[in-house]
Amino acid sequence: MLDITAAEIDGKLADAKSSLLPLRVDDLVYELNGVRIIDGVTLRVEPTGCTAIMGYNGAGKSVLVRLLHGLLTPSAGSCRWAGNLSASEISRRQSMVFQVPVLLRRSVEANIDYALSKRGFKAPERARKLEAILHETDLLKLRKRPASVLSSGERQRVALCRALAVEPELVFLDEPTASLDPAATAAIEQILLRAISAGRKLIMVSQSVGQVQRLARDVIFVHRGRIAEHTPIEEFLTTPRSAAARAFIAGELFEE
């Protein structure tokens, strides 16, 4: 304790003070051509662990995470981040893995390196980070391969690697294991668990109850553009409050 300098303590305090989270979302609306795709969402996202977003196809999960990530502009309502940070600083501390991963037409490692350089990592540190993250996401063997020839599981892994490489405080994941085989899914979940224990916040859209059970601490259930419920994971799995979530878990089609 004694050898910690005052500057270091100040640094730590500043870091803690300027955390992005909790995120407070207030009456968020996203309207397109007169249709309310997101229809009055209010929620609070806590600083640690993985928050899952579940819901039927077309419920508005992808639109919701794009709104939160700042890629779409809400028609009404607001997302308020903690810590009084500038807009560019807020976006610099986040990254996202899209439902359909978009990679540049270059090698795997060039894709990761691109993200690092655009986020302002400089030469010697950047190379070190590249090595570390390729190792961590098990991409060393694929590093020279053109991204265009990768299988969909490999593409997902590269997209995840890129999102984690930039050392975000918060990562949005839109169905990061959709269409992956069980082994690839397990590999990605391992990487996600490590990211959580490293202190990163995950907000993850998922269709898999099992996956949510393994990773998440709370579940936001989206139904027709609204939050049907936002409950801790144990409660969500055993006694979901909303009829929509109950039907979802039971595997039935929910009709309103």
* DSSP state at residue 146: B
Sign of CA dihedral 101, 196, 202, 243: positive
Q: Which of residues 92-121 bind Mg ion (CB under 5 A)?
A: 99
Is 62 one of the binding residues for Mg ion (CB under 5 A)?
yes
Is 101 one of the binding residues for ligand ATP (CB under 6 A)?
no
Cα gap 221→240, rounded to integer Å: 10
- CB atoms closer than 10 angstroms to residue 168: 21
Tell me the number of residues near another protein by CB under 8 A: 24
Cα gap 88→120, rounded to integer Å: 13
Least distance in Å: CB of 120 to another protein?
9
Q: Work out which of 105, 141, 238, 251 binds another protein, going by CB under 8 A.
A: 105
Asked whether the beta carbons of 29 and 40 are under 8 A apart, the reply is: yes
* DSSP state at residue 169: S
Q: Work out which of 57, 86, 197, 238 binds ligand ATP, going by CB under 6 A.
A: 57
Q: Work out which of 20, 41, 43, 63 binds ligand ATP, going by CB under 6 A.
A: 63
Is 122 one of the binding residues for another protein (CB under 8 A)?
no
Tell me the number of residues near ligand ATP by CB under 6 A: 11
Asked whether the beta carbons of 41 and 226 are under 8 A apart, the reply is: yes
- Which residues make up the interface to another protein (CB under 8 A)? 66, 69, 71, 88, 91-92, 94-96, 98, 102, 104-107, 110, 114-115, 118-119, 146-148, 166
